[in-house]
Amino acid sequence: MIAMADDAQHALAAAAAPVAMRLALAPENMEQDLSRLVLTLVEFLRRLLEAQAVRRMEGGGLDAEEAERLGLGLMRAREAVVSLCGKLGIAPETLNLDLGPLGRLM
């Protein structure tokens, strides 16, 4: 059996990765593909804000009322993303992008 070079093995593994995790804008699915991209970016920003809020809470930068309002806002944002996914026929767990050698966005 011929041994494959590391680069060839990496390329083969990347090609075998789940297609749903890659950005593939097909003309017949343009609306859903763009919706998935936009919702992925919104979910990424929501998670980023959530991590920042946790750091602020742990650092004592938020009082109890601010933490409550922020938590409620982040929960509602997540609910909105999940609701939009349902309306557009997108599974929320597919909201991610394969960034190639950098790995996945989330």
Q: Over the stretch 50-90, which tens digit does the pLDDT of each residue have?
A: 999 899 988 988 888 998 999 999 999 999 999 999 998 88
Q: What angle do CA 69, 57, 45 make, to 5 degrees?
A: 65
Residue 5 has a pLDDT of 52
pLDDT at 1: 38
pLDDT tens digit sequence for 28-40? 777 888 888 899 9
Read off the tokens for 98: 């394969």
Q: How far is CA 6 from CA 9, 10, 12, 30, 76, in A?
A: 5, 6, 10, 35, 45
Who's near 11: CB < 8 A, 6+ residues apart? none
pLDDT at 64: 87
Would you say residue 101 has pLDDT above 90? no
Crossing angle between the packed helical segments 64-88 and 30-58, to the nearest 10 degrees? 170
